[in-house]
A = this chain, B = another copy of it.
Amino acid sequence: MDLLTDLEGAALAEIASRSKATSYAIAQAFSHSPSEYWSGSAGAVYPLVKRLAERGLLEPSPATTGMRARIDYRITPQGRSALEDWLLDARRASGMGFDPLRTRLVHLHLVSPEQRRVFIAEVRALSEDFARTPAFEDQPVRARIHDSWLKARATWLAMLDFVAK
């Protein structure tokens, strides 16, 4: 009934994409994300998936690989419905979220023009490095979203050069 958090929505989406998955696979998917937001720590993901199962959004099915117990999860009809509500929530999607660069630019007047110039130059260089390190090589749609986002932010930053002065 409650709306999904973004972490819950993303986890459901990852499971839905794979038709079935273990908590470990979801944690891996998160930690491979180029965004620092998706830490994919076990301490976050295992309890999260368990909660989703308790809410009836995932169906656990015990599995065994070799000797060790594992749990595969599948999305249920209620899970699919909750996922769509989260995914297609245009109002939440339109929010500004958190951008570590934007946050700092807002306060950059607190330091000297020289410090500002150095900072912006460093960010520009790091962003180019970042854009060059391939992400999601196996998933072309994700890769295009990721790359174009970095490009869009670089363009935005160039447009904002006045904050450096």
**A residues touching B (Cβ–Cβ < 8 Å)?**
6, 9-10, 13, 16-17, 34-37, 83-84, 87-111, 115, 118-119, 122-123, 126-127, 130, 141-142, 144-145, 148-150, 152-153, 155-156, 159-160, 162-163
**CB nearest to A37 among chain B residues:** B98
Considering the chains assembled together, what is the distance between the CA atoms of A111 and B80 in angstroms?
10
A91 touches B126 (CB 8 A): yes
| A141 & B88 in contact (Cβ 8 Å cutoff) | no
Give the chain B neighbours of A87 by CB distance below 8 A: 104, 107-108, 110-111, 119
Complex interface: chain B residues within 8 A of A107 (CB): 10, 13, 16-17, 87
The distance in angstroms between the C-alpha atoms of A110 and B92, with both chains bound, is: 18
Q: Is the CB of A123 within 8 A of B35?
A: no
The answer for the CA separation of A152 and B123 in the assembled complex, in Å, is 18
A88 to B110, CA, bound (A): 11
Most buried by B among A13, A84, A87: A87
Alpha-carbon distance A152/B10, docked complex (angstroms): 24
